[in-house]
Amino acid sequence: MASHSSTLGIFTRPLLLLLLSFLAPLFQDISITHAQNTSAQVAPIPNTQMPYARVGSKFYVQSGPRSAKSTPVFSLDLTTSWSVNAPAWTAEKFGNISNDPYSWGVGDNQSLLVLYDNPGTTYHRVNVTNPDAKWRTIAMLRPVECPVRDTVIDSRTGWMYTSNKIDEFDEPDTLCVDDRDGAYAVPDIVPSGIFGERIIDGAVYNNARQSLMNGYKRLADKTWGYLLEYSINKDKWSNYNVTGQLPTKREQNCMAIDTNGTKIVVFGGSTPDASNPTKLKPSPELFVLDLKSRQWRKAPNAASSRANAACILVEDQFIVWGGQNTKNPSGDGSILLFDLSKFEWVTTYTPPSYLLPTKPTTTASPGPSVTSEAPAPTKNESSSINIGAIIGGVIGALAAIAIVAGVFIYRRRKQKNQKSEIPGTKDVKQGHAPPEHYGKQEHGLMEGVSEDYGKTPVYSPQLVNVSSRHPQQTPILSGDPHGEPAPKYEATEH
């Protein structure tokens, strides 16, 4: 019995080494894939009065905290469905930029730009279509008449436009134009009486009308029933008359337009406190303008008030992130989502059809069959396929090893049976041949005994060939308004 146990141990040890050497890379792949699937969702730190812009199929915002000198940029994926409780954020690797409350974000079809409201300063640009891109710092001359506020970009030319009323400097109202290179902002005097008492809080580029559409009267007690519009091609200012439930007096609000130029949304901002009109409080109000009927409509209030928030309008879905309120003066990191088609606040974002990944078309070829290339698996599907393939490989390896072990054990038992049939084997002691077989040895082996008898096969994991397996434009809406530095809120929300 002792001899049998010793032989079995000699057999099982190399077999175990073989098994471990074969399975280790497979389980390592499972571990890596599982870690990728269960890794914590990244999200920007709450911020307020930060630059933001939509570029192509992503919504870019600068992360907080507000107190940090420089912070990174995050992007929100607009091509996939997600919940407001688990948005599809990605931490971009462009590098950190100055966390300046007097900054503005705009974007063309491939670049994200961050402008700073300092005369004779620089701005940052990054090509977001390049996965290895880093921020470029570009010198820019901005005259005092051209502060960065409510800047929009013409997606056809890349030129940036900013409308300003700078009465605190006793300067005339201006429209500042930055060319594609951003070397110098050229001020253009706006005809007298166009702005009146209005200081713009909100501006968008209307792709359908190829014009700038600027907010509404901010300082006067009564709301004006029109938007200011500047036609780029005609170089002409005009009033865009509107009716309906007009947005009330406010500042530091967010304003966005859809890519087809059919709807404008104004959200949040700071409004006078009803109990103390000399103080401001963040607002949860949302107003929607139908540009075809020219009718404003007030929506249900949001669950959270916001001032200086980031926002975009993706067809009928209005997305809000960041901004401040009395509970979160340094920024609220939750997402608010409003569905214009349902005219209610919702919790799930659904991408429009033009942002969905393109499916390969079916190609017919001569012959009896028609082949169609299946769409590439998504990240989650690819991970599932990888895990399934790995588990299948593990099961197959175990089955193969079990077969090898079974064959080996069968051969050893057969050899033992042959040994028991040799005459006089019952008198054999370990290390000695039976007397009747003395003198019949040849080359040191007994007749009637297999050449493999007493030899233990040795398996080396170094001989096993195991290798690790590896799992495998839309026009841009430009930045939207922040307004001036946020006031200190003293009143509580109602």
CB 38 within 8 A of CB 30: no
- Give the pLDDT confidence score for residue 336 in this predicted structure: 98
Domain range list for the chain: 1-39, 52-355
| Alpha carbons within 13 A on the beta-carbon side of 422 | 18
- Give the pLDDT confidence score for residue 239 in this predicted structure: 87
- Give the pLDDT confidence score for residue 469 in this predicted structure: 36
Mean pLDDT by 10 residues, the chain (494 residues): 48 54 50 39 89 95 95 96 96 94 89 82 86 88 77 89 68 77 73 71 91 73 77 91 89 93 95 87 96 97 96 97 93 97 98 83 47 45 52 66 67 57 41 38 37 35 34 39 44 43
CB 270 within 8 A of CB 229: no
- Give the pLDDT confidence score for residue 168 in this predicted structure: 52
Alpha-carbon span 292 to 416, nearest angstrom:
95
Alpha-carbon span 190 to 418, nearest angstrom:
110
- Give the pLDDT confidence score for residue 56 in this predicted structure: 92
Architecture field, domain 52-355? 6 Propeller (2.120)
Q: How many CB atoms lie within 10 A of CB 376?
A: 10
- Give the pLDDT confidence score for residue 142 in this predicted structure: 74
- Give the pLDDT confidence score for residue 313 in this predicted structure: 97
DSSP 3-state of 124? strand
Predicted TM-score (pTM) of this structure:
0.66
- The secondary structure of 427-464 as a DSSP string is G--TT---GGGTT--BTTB-TTS-TTTT------GGGS
- C-alpha separations of 121 from 6, 97, 146, 148, 206 in Å: 82, 14, 12, 11, 28
Residues 6 or more apart whose CB falls under 8 angstroms from that of 203 comprise 150, 151, 152, 162, 163, 212, 213, 214, 215, 255, 480, 481
Alpha-carbon span 465 to 359, nearest angstrom:
39
